[in-house]
C-alpha cells in the first residue's frame, strides 16, 4: 500500500466522521426544535384554555348581573299594595322568558321576601333592652326547630347594649378570652351570619342540613321588622303566637293560596283566627314587603358565577343595599 493510498483512506475516514458528527448535530438540533415546538404548543394551549375560562367567567358574571337587573325590573313593576307568592317576582326562576336555552349565557335565580322571616334585630329595642314579645317569638322558633334553648341567653347578650352576662350568656369577658379574641357586638347584627360568632352557635345549628333547615333560613337583618303573612312559611307563622299551631298556620296558607291577603284585617276571615289572636299578632304582621333577597347564577359553557343581592324597594325605586359575588 503506497503512501498516497493511505492518505486517501485517512481523508475519506475523516470525511465520514465529520458527516457522522454533522448528522448527530442535525438530529440534536431537530430534537431541540421539536421539544421547543411541543412545549410552545402546550403552553399556548394552556394559555388559550385559561383565557377562554377567564372570558367565560367574566361573561358568566355579567350574565348574572343581567339577572339582577331583570329582578329589579320585576320588583319595580310589581304591585306594591301587597306582596305574595303568586306574583311574578316569586316565580323568577321559572319565568321562561328570561332563560335562554343556548350555552352562550343564561341565568337562573330566586327572589325571596325578607319579610317572610323573623327580624332578629327586633329582639332588642333602640334603648338596647330586650323586647319580651320578640323574645317569645325567638323562643318559639327554637322550640319548633328543636334547638337547645340555652343558646338564647348568649344571643341576647350579643345584641343587648349592656355588659352584664345572663345566667347562660356571655359578654365581652368571655369573647376576649377566646383565641383569637374578639369583642361582643352589644348592638344589632349587620348580617345574620354574625350569629356564628355567638357562644355555643355551630354551623349545624345555623345552616342546618338536608333533613332540617337551620336558623339562617328563618332570620333576617334586612326586613323592616314585621312578618308578611302572604309569604312566611308555616314555621314562621307559628312563631307569631302560642295560639298558632301547625293546623292554623296551614289554614292561613290555604286562605292566601285562594286569594292573597290585601290587608292585615283580612286575617280575621281565616277559620280559627280569634279576636285575641288578631290583637296579639296585628302589631307584627304585614301584607307588604320592601326588602327582597336575590340569588342569581350566571352560566356560560359550564362556568358558573353567582351573585347574592338584597334589594330595597321604596316607591318606584328599587336599589341594592347589599351584594356579594358567590
Ligand atoms: Ca306585590
Ligand atoms: Ca351585651
DSSP 8-state symbol, 138? H
Q: What is the CATH number of the domain that holds 207?
A: 1.10.40.60
Residue-wise pLDDT for 76-91, tens only, equals: 999 999 999 999 999 8
Whether residue 293 lies inside any domain: the answer is: yes
Residue 171 lies in a domain: yes
The phi, psi pair for 75, rounded to 5°, reads: -70, -30
Quote the ligand 2 centre to 151 CA distance (angstroms).
14
In Å, how far are 39, 131, 140, 263, 264 from 149, measured between CA atoms? 64, 17, 10, 34, 31
Q: Are residues 138 and 272 in the same domain?
A: yes
Q: Residues 44, 11: one domain?
A: yes
Assigned domain for 160 exists: yes
Distance between CA atoms of residues 233 and 251, nearest Å:
12
Q: Which residue has the higher pLDDT, 203 or 97?
A: 203
CATH number, domain with residue 321? 3.30.1300.30
120-145 pLDDT per residue, tens: 999 999 888 889 999 999 999 999 99
Nearest to 324 by CA among 304, 303, 310: 310
Is there a domain that residue 223 lies in? no
CB neighbours of residue 80 within 10 Å: 14
Q: Is 239 within the bounds of a domain?
A: yes
Establish if 311 belongs to a structural domain: yes
- The answer to whether the CB of 234 falls within 8 A of the CB of 250 is yes
Are 42 and 149 contained in the same domain?
no
d(CA 85, CA 254): 12
Q: At residue 309, does pLDDT exceed 60?
A: yes
State the pLDDT at residue 108.
87
Q: Which ligand is nearest to the CA of 164?
A: 2
What domain range includes position 74?
1-117+289-326
CA of residue 187 to ligand 2 center, whole Å: 8
Q: How many domains does the chain have?
A: 2
User: Per mean pLDDT, which range of 91-95, 189-193, 215-219, 238-242 is the poorest?
Assistant: 91-95
Distance CA 228, CA 266 (A): 13
Domain contains 224: no
The mean pLDDT of 9-25, rounded to a whole number, is: 80
* Alpha helices (H) along 179-289: 203-207, 234-238, 246-258, 275-281
Domain presence at residue 154: yes
CA of 186, nearest ligand number:
2
Assess contact for 223 and 119: CB atoms under 8 A: yes
Report pTM.
0.83
How far apart are the CA of 238 and the centre of ligand 2, in A? 28
Task: Give the number of the ligand closest to the Cα of residue 174.
Answer: 2
Amino acid at each position: 500500500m503506497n503512501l498516497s493510498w493511505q492518505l486517501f483512506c485517512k481523508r475519506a475516514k475523516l470525511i465520514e466522521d465529520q458527516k457522522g458528527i454533522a448528522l448527530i448535530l442535525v438530529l440534536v438540533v431537530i430534537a431541540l426544535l421539536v421539544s421547543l415546538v411541543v412545549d410552545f404548543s402546550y403552553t399556548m394551549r394552556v394559555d388559550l384554555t385559561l383565557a377562554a375560562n377567564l372570558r367565560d367567567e367574566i361573561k358568566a358574571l355579567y350574565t348574572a348581573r343581567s339577572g339582577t337587573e331583570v329582578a329589579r325590573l320585576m320588583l319595580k313593576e310589581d304591585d306594591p299594595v301587597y306582596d305574595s307568592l303568586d306574583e311574578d317576582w316569586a316565580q323568577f326562576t321559572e319565568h321562561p322568558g328570561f332563560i335562554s336555552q343556548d350555552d352562550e349565557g343564561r341565568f337562573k335565580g330566586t327572589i325571596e321576601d325578607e319579610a317572610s322571616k323573623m327580624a332578629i334585630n327586633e329582639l332588642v329595642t333602640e334603648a338596647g333592652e330586650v323586647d319580651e314579645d320578640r323574645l317569645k317569638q325567638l323562643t318559639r322558633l327554637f322550640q319548633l326547630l328543636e334547638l337547645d334553648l340555652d343558646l338564647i341567653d348568649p344571643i341576647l347578650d350579643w345584641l343587648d347594649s349592656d355588659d352584664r352576662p345572663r345566667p347562660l350568656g356571655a359578654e365581652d369577658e368571655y369573647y376576649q378570652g377566646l383565641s383569637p379574641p374578639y369583642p361582643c357586638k352589644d348592638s344589632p347584627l349587620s348580617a345574620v351570619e354574625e350569629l356564628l360568632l355567638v357562644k355555643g352557635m355551630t354551623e349545624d345549628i345555623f345552616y342546618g342540613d338536608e333533613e332540617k333547615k337551620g336558623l339562617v333560613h328563618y332570620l333576617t337583618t334586612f326586613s323592616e321588622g314585621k312578618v308578611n303573612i302572604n309569604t312566611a312559611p308555616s314555621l314562621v307563622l307559628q312563631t307569631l303566637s302560642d295560639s298558632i299551631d301547625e293546623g292554623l298556620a296551614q289554614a292561613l296558607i290555604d286562605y292566601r293560596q285562594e286569594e292573597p291577603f290585601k290587608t292585615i284585617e283580612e286575617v280575621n276571615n281565616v277559620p280559627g283566627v280569634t279576636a285575641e289572636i288578631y290583637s296579639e299578632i296585628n302589631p307584627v304582621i304585614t301584607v307588604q314587603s320592601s326588602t327582597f333577597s336575590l340569588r342569581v347564577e350566571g352560566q356560560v359553557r359550564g362556568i358558573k358565577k353567582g351573585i347574592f343581592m338584597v334589594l330595597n324597594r321604596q316607591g318606584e325605586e328599587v336599589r341594592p343595599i347589599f351584594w356579594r359575588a358567590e
